[in-house]
Amino acid sequence: EDQVTQSPEALRLQEGESSSLNCSYTVSGLRGLFWYRQDPGKGPEFLFTLYSAGEEKEKERLKATLTKKESFLHITAPKPEDSATYLCAVRGTGNQFYFGTGTSLTVIP
Amino acid sequence: DAGVIQSPRHEVTEMGQEVTLRCKPISGHNSLFWYRQTMMRGLELLIYFNNNVPIDDSGMPEDRFSAKMPNASFSTLKIQPSEPRDSAVYFCAIQGARSGMNTEAFFGQGTRLTVV
């Protein structure tokens, strides 16, 4: 069964303190690993798609990496506006997107 | 750009009443998903459609839940009768195929349902 586990559940960082979020997955035939950002009261907002081990994507202070078993979302020198819940999802041989329960990130000024 | 309009944004109803949630994809998709989000269980897939045809409804919790997609521009999720444990945020998401790539899913803003 396709499964996604995210850690930590919650993370508090000082502004400028870099860190990483983890997404561990098991999936039959990975057809994509997706990172989303969700702000309170809003729908998940797409950030990145990774398709194969070794692939990396960057956007501003965020960098996503992928291995055969996990993905990391690295946040470099975060700012308070980076505070949100970050969701990871995988898509396998079926067409469904399976989501983890997310990491709630708080960046303190 | 793909986009999804959900309505209503908020719904408060009494236990036992029928609730209908609506989703209007703007364009550029061939798959539509209904998700339910709660603090305890995160985002759970309820059902998805491919080219307006229901493909997998194994996530629909009970027979009280039903979903339709009469055309590419409209889908509904109905709960009849509603129960307090159905309280959650319900999201509609779309995914389109571009040149055979496995594209991402785009989400609407959600409907927050409260059953009292």
The 10s digit of each residue's pLDDT in B55-78 is 989 899 889 999 999 998 999 999
Mutation site, A7, A23, A46, A104, interface B, largest B CB count within 10 A: A46
pLDDT tens, B79-96? 999 999 999 999 999 987
CA angle at residue A98 from B6 to A100, to 5 degrees? 95
Question: How many angstroms away from the CA of B43 is the closest CA of chain A?
Answer: 6
Instruction: List C-alpha distances in Å: B101 to A49, B32, B96.
Output: 11, 16, 9
Inform me whether the C-beta atom of residue B26 falls under 8 Å from chain A C-beta atoms.
no
Cβ of B108 within 8 Å of Cβ of A43? The answer is yes
C-alpha to C-alpha distance for A35 and A51, rounded to whole angstroms: 12
Whole-angstrom distance, CA of residue A92 vs CA of residue A2: 7
Q: How far is A43 from chain B (nearest CA, A)?
A: 4
pLDDT digits (tens, 9 = 90+) for A26-79: 988 888 999 999 999 999 999 999 999 999 999 999 999 999 999 999 999 999
- Of the candidates A42, A97, A102, the beta carbon closest to that of B105 is on A97
